[in-house]
Structure 1
Amino acid sequence: MRMKMADFKEKEQEIRDTFLREKEELKKTYNEIVEKLKKEGDKLQGDIQKEYDNARKYVKEHPETGLGIALAGGLLIGFAIAKILNR
């Protein structure tokens, strides 16, 4: 019986060690993924800001075009809303 109990304790310790190693590996992988997502988020935020700045610059340089686009967009949205409400 002692031999079996010793084997049981040894197996239990092996399982615990394996579990702890796997847990640490998962933590490491999780942290790497979080870091990559942060970097991608920062890059995306920079890209969006750049496009926003370009759009504002374009509208300042070509106000009539910007006004025309806004008018056309407003009309399209207005027609779409009217069509939906008349159903």
Structure 2
Amino acid sequence: MIINNVDLSGYSGIASQLPEADLYITGLIFLFFNICIPLATARTIVAAKRLNKTMLNANSFLKDKNELYRTLFTESNKAKIIVDENLVINLSFG
């Protein structure tokens, strides 16, 4: 409406159409660059830090499981019985 200079003053009873339009637009640009973009950047940084922490925890868990597997199955030649948290029994002859 501002760009095409549409005049609705006859319907609203307002004599002029957005007399301070440049201030409105300047205010919106100010809000966008000083509030929206910094908040989006901060949220992205927080999400990246959380993802990094999750990946480090997952890598640590996998490293521990790999060491357990290597200790139980590849470096020993005795039979083993392993019971998981669901009480499922696994036998290994290695």
How high is the TM-score relative to the length of structure 2? 0.59
One-letter code aligned to 1:54: L
CA RMSD of aligned residues (A): 2.4
SS of the residue corresponding to residue 62 of structure 2 reads helix
* Divergent runs of 4+, >6 A: none
Matches within 5 A, 1:39-58: 39-58=53-72
CA shift, 1:25, in A, is 0.1
Pair 1:36 & 2:50 matched:
yes
Q: Please report the TM-score for the alignment, with normalisation by the length of structure 1.
A: 0.64
Report SS of the residue matched to 1:37.
helix
Q: Which has the larger radius of gyration?
A: 2
Question: Is 1:9 aligned to residue 22 of structure 2?
Answer: yes
- The count of residues paired between Structure 1 and Structure 2 equals 66
Q: Which has the higher helix share?
A: 1
1 or 2 for the larger relative contact order (CA 8 Å, sep ≥6)? Answer: 2
Q: Which structure shows the bigger proportion of residues in strand conformation? A: 2
Query: Structure 2 stretches of 5 or more lacking a match?
Result: 1-15, 81-90
